[in-house]
Amino acid sequence: MDYQKSFESTAKAELDVARRMAAQGDYWTAVYHCQQAAEKMTKAVLFKYKIIEMKEHVISGLFASRILRYRRSKELNQVYRYLAQLERHVNKARYPIQEDDEILLPMERYDARDAADAITKAEYIINTLQKLLDEPEPS
């Protein structure tokens, strides 16, 4: 199995984990796994196009400059927007954050709506990017 396929498979597994976590009420964990699913599916596309300069979790800019710039479509624009929105949760869904004089825990910041929204966005990203992955290899 190559990197593209391994990232694609892992992205889909992360989405399955997110769904299970949301179903049991672990909304913050569901949101985190949705962000991870979207990131890994995007990395699968980047591997397909031989763009391997990705060591970050925040990859919407790389997606925009290296994929979206050359493959404009309404669907890929939406992928970019959803990626950027999910990236806001890279740290927020993992670490306590201080706001004013209060420390907020990740599990206190998310609810069922947040998880459902993240799942919808991750599903859209995975389904849309799957179409790019299914296209013949670029020349």
Residue 89 is assigned to a structural domain of this protein: yes
Looking at the 3D structure of the chain, how many domains does it have?
Answer: 1
Residue 139 is assigned to a structural domain of this protein: no
Residue 99 is assigned to a structural domain of this protein: yes
- Domain extent at residue 82: 3-134
pLDDT tens digits, the chain, 139 residues: what are they? 688 899 999 999 999 999 999 999 999 999 999 999 999 999 999 988 888 666 667 789 889 988 888 888 999 999 999 999 999 998 888 899 888 899 989 898 999 999 999 999 999 999 999 999 999 875 6
Distance of CA 127 to the CA centre of its chain: 12
Residue 74 is assigned to a structural domain of this protein: yes
Burial tier of 54 (Cβ tally within 10 Å: 0-12, 13-18, 19+): middle
Residue 82 is assigned to a structural domain of this protein: yes
Is the Cα dihedral 134, 42, 16, 25 positive or negative?
A: negative
Burial tier of 99 (Cβ tally within 10 Å: 0-12, 13-18, 19+): exposed
pLDDT at 69 (0 to 100): 85
**Which run of H or of E encompasses 4?**
helix 3-23
- Mention every residue, 6+ apart, whose C-beta is less than 8 A from residue 16: none
pLDDT at 138 (0 to 100): 58
Residue 85 maps to which CATH number? Answer: 1.20.120.330
pTM equals 0.92
